[in-house]
A and B are shown apart, each in its own frame.
Chain A
C-alpha cells in the first residue's frame, strides 16, 4: 500500500541525512521525497511517499518518531488529504502538427507551456502523481526529451493539521 508520510523536522544540518539514512539502513522504500523549510525557518517539512504492508508502515512511522530531530509526523494517506506534484517536461516540438498536438494535450491536462524554442516546448503540469503519469503516457507519441518531477507534497483536508 502507498503511504504519504508528512514530517516536521528540526532544520538542522544532517537531519535530512538521518531520515534518508534510516530508510536505507532498515531497507524501507522511498518512492519520492520532498523537503523545504516552513514559515518557521527553524523547521522543515518533509513529505515522503513510501509503500509497504501495515507492519512495515507502522515500523517506519515509529522509527521516524525515534529520530531526535523529528518533531511530529502524520500519515496523510490515513485520512482525507490533498496531494500535488509538480512536473516540468521538455518535449520535441518541431512540425506545426506536432506543436499543435502537444499544445492540445497540455491544455487537456491544464498544463502550462513555460518555455518555447523553435524545436521544443517545456510544459509545467501540477496534479496528483497519477495525473502526471497519465500526461507522460499521453505524450508517448511525441518525443519526450526530459522529465523533472518534484515528488509529492501533501496536506490534510479540513481542520486536521501538522503544526507545533
Chain B
C-alpha cells in the first residue's frame, strides 16, 4: 500500500504504539526506558498527548497504573523494556491479576531474529507472565500494532478485568519503516464473548429466595467496585433493609456510616459481620469469590445458608463454596434487574423476622465493636487510623501496603464511597502503597490521597519518593512505625511462642530526614497528644508530600482474628478472649 492513493496515515511501529494509546484516550503512561523500547520512547518524545511518568523502579510503574485503574475503572498502562525491565514488572502484574484489575503492560523485547538466542536483556516475558495475566500477546508484524493494542484494552477491560501483556520486539518499532495506521473502533473475537446480563430465570429465583429470607445478609466484594455497581447495591440493600458486609476488596461498595453496614468480614472481619454470615439463612454474594481469607474452613462455612452468587466469572461460582442460585453476569445489570423485579413484586421482606434478626445483630455489635485499649501512654495504630478517617471525613483515597497497618486501615477507616480504598488484597504485595498513592494523586490532584504503611513495607519502594518530587505528588504517608514486621510478629506471638525470627528491623533510617533528603516534609509523632496537630499540619500542606513517621505500640495485635481451621465465627477477640 502506498500513501499516494489513500488517506491512511503512514506511521512507524513506534509511532503507532503511542498514537494507539492516544486514540484509546490514555493520558498517562508509567514506565522506564531501556534499549528495546528506545524507538517507542523517541516517538513518545515527539508528541504531547500521552504523558510519561518516569518511576525509579518498574514495579512502581505497574502499581501506579494499577491504582489508577482501581480509582477510575479504566485500564492503566505501563511501558517497560525487555529483560530486567519486564521482570521487575512481574510483581505488579501479579498484583493486578489477583485483584482483577485492568492493565495493559507493553514490554520491550529483543529483535525478532535474536529471540531464543539468549540475547542481551532477553527474557521470555510471554512465558513468565502467562500464569499471571488475563492474556498476553506478541507483535509479529508492525502493521498489527493498532489491532493488538485495541485487543489488549478490550480484553483487559471487559468481562472479569485483568492485566494484558503485549510483548514488542524492537524491530517492530523501527522509526523509518512506515505502515498504514488505523485504530479499530471495536474488536470482536470469536473465542471471547463475556456474558453481560444475568439469566432472567435465575434472577427471578434469586429475588424469590431473598424475599423468603428470615436471616439474610448481603456479602459484597471487589466485583461491585470494579463493576461500578455500588449505587445499585446500596439501593437494593436499603430497599430490603438487609445487613451488608463488605470484603477487604469491597470496602466502600456500601457506605460504612450506614446503620445496615456490619463491617468487613473474614479473617480480620468484625465480630458482627462474621456472626451475621454464620447464622444467615440466605446469603447474597455479589462480586465476591469466597476467598480462603473470608470463609475460614470451607467445611464449616455458613451451614444454614442458601447461597445466591452473582459473578461475572463462572469459574468463581461454586469454586470453593457451592452456590445454590448462581447468576453469571455483570453485577450492575444483574442488581438493576433484581431491583426492577422487587419494585414490581407485591411480596415484601418478612419484617417481623427481620426485626428479630436486626435485634440479634445489634447485640453482636456490642460484643467487640472494634474495641481496643485506647487509654494508654503509647500511641495505638487503631487510633491513628480513626484520626485520619475523621480528619478526611471518610472521603480520602486511602492506599495501603500489607500487614497489620492494612488491616487497621480496613477496619477503622470509614469508607463511604467506592474506589477509594486501594490495597493489594489477593497477592498481598508489600511495596504497593506508595506507588499506588502516586498513581491516584497524579490523576486526582485535588483529592486527599493517603498511603497507610509500615516501616517494613514503605522500604520496599521508598525510592519512589524521588518520583513524587519530580511530579509534585503531594501524597500523605502515614507510616505506622512499630519497629517490627507487625503481622509476622503477631503470628509469631500467637503460634511460635514469641520467637521473633527475622521480624525485627534494626537500623531503620530516620524517616523524617529521609523525606527531607528527597525534598519533602517529614514529621515525627511519638506521643498520643502529638497526633492531631501533626495530622492537621500534614493535611494543610495541600501540594506537598508529607511523611508522617508515627511511632505506635509494637505490642498491638489485629483483632478479631479467625481461629485457624474453624468456622467463620470462630474468632480471637483479644489476646485473652476467644469466641
Chain A interface (Cβ < 8 Å from any Cβ of B): 10, 13-14, 17-18, 21, 25, 55, 58-59, 62-63, 65-66, 68-71, 164
| Neighbouring B residues of A18 by C-beta, 8 Å | 130
| A5 CB to nearest chain B CB (Å) | 15
- B507 an interface residue at 8 Å Cβ cutoff? no
Return the 4 tightest CB-CB contacts between A and B, nearest first.
A62-B315, A71-B191, A68-B135, A25-B131
| Complex Cα spacing A68 to B151, Å | 11
| Complex Cα spacing A30 to B134, Å | 22
Does B191 contact A70, Cβ atoms closer than 8 Å?
Answer: yes
| Neighbouring A residues of B315 by C-beta, 8 Å | 59, 62-63, 65-66
| Complex Cα spacing A17 to B128, Å | 12
What string of 1s and 0s marks CB contacts (under 8 Å) between B302-321 and chain A?
00000000000111001100
| B241 CB to nearest chain A CB (Å) | 35
| A22 CB to nearest chain B CB (Å) | 8
Does B192 contact A68, Cβ atoms closer than 8 Å?
Answer: yes
Does B191 contact A21, Cβ atoms closer than 8 Å?
Answer: no
Does A21 contact B130, Cβ atoms closer than 8 Å?
Answer: yes
| Complex Cα spacing A13 to B127, Å | 12
Does A68 contact B130, Cβ atoms closer than 8 Å?
Answer: no
| A63 CB to nearest chain B CB (Å) | 5
List residues 312-338 of chain B with CB under 8 A from any CB of chain A.
Answer: 313-315, 318-319
| A23 CB to nearest chain B CB (Å) | 11
Residue of B nearest to A69 (CB): B191
Q: Which of B191, B318, B319 contacts A68 (CB under 8 A)?
A: B191
Does B314 contact A68, Cβ atoms closer than 8 Å?
Answer: no
| Neighbouring A residues of B192 by C-beta, 8 Å | 68
Chain A binding site: helix, strand, loop or mixed by DSSP? helix
Q: Which of B131, B138, B191, B318 contacts A10 (CB under 8 A)?
A: B191
| Complex Cα spacing A13 to B139, Å | 11
| Neighbouring A residues of B135 by C-beta, 8 Å | 68
Does B190 contact A21, Cβ atoms closer than 8 Å?
Answer: no
Q: List 9 A-B contacts (CB under 8 A).
A: A10-B191, A13-B138, A58-B318, A59-B319, A62-B314, A66-B315, A70-B191, A71-B191, A164-B190
- B377 an interface residue at 8 Å Cβ cutoff? no
| Neighbouring B residues of A65 by C-beta, 8 Å | 314-315
| Complex Cα spacing A28 to B295, Å | 23
| B391 CB to nearest chain A CB (Å) | 43
Residue of A nearest to B126 (CB): A14
| Neighbouring A residues of B313 by C-beta, 8 Å | 66
- The A/B interface has a contact count, at CB < 8 Å, of 33
List residues 131-145 of chain B with CB under 8 A from any CB of chain A.
Answer: 131, 134-136, 138
- B508 an interface residue at 8 Å Cβ cutoff? no
| Neighbouring A residues of B126 by C-beta, 8 Å | 14
Does A55 contact B191, Cβ atoms closer than 8 Å?
Answer: no
| Complex Cα spacing A45 to B141, Å | 26
- B14 an interface residue at 8 Å Cβ cutoff? no
List residues 187-216 of chain B with CB under 8 A from any CB of chain A.
Answer: 189-192
Residue of B nearest to A17 (CB): B130
Given contact pairs A69-B191, A71-B190, enumerate 11 new A-B contacts (beta carbons under 8 Å). Answer: A10-B191, A14-B126, A14-B130, A58-B318, A59-B319, A62-B315, A63-B315, A65-B314, A66-B313, A68-B134, A68-B191
| Complex Cα spacing A131 to B313, Å | 40
- B18 an interface residue at 8 Å Cβ cutoff? no
| Neighbouring A residues of B127 by C-beta, 8 Å | 17
- B155 an interface residue at 8 Å Cβ cutoff? yes
Residue in A17, A59, A68 whose Cβ sees the most chain B Cβ within 10 Å: A68
| Complex Cα spacing A2 to B189, Å | 32
Residue in A18, A25, A164 whose Cβ sees the most chain B Cβ within 10 Å: A18
| A59 CB to nearest chain B CB (Å) | 6
| Complex Cα spacing A65 to B193, Å | 10
| A147 CB to nearest chain B CB (Å) | 31
| Complex Cα spacing A65 to B195, Å | 12
| Complex Cα spacing A102 to B190, Å | 50
Residue in B126, B136, B190, B191 whose Cβ sees the most chain A Cβ within 10 Å: B191
Residue of B nearest to A9 (CB): B191
| Neighbouring A residues of B134 by C-beta, 8 Å | 68
Given A21-B131, A59-B315, A62-B315, check contact A68 B189 (CB 8 Å). yes
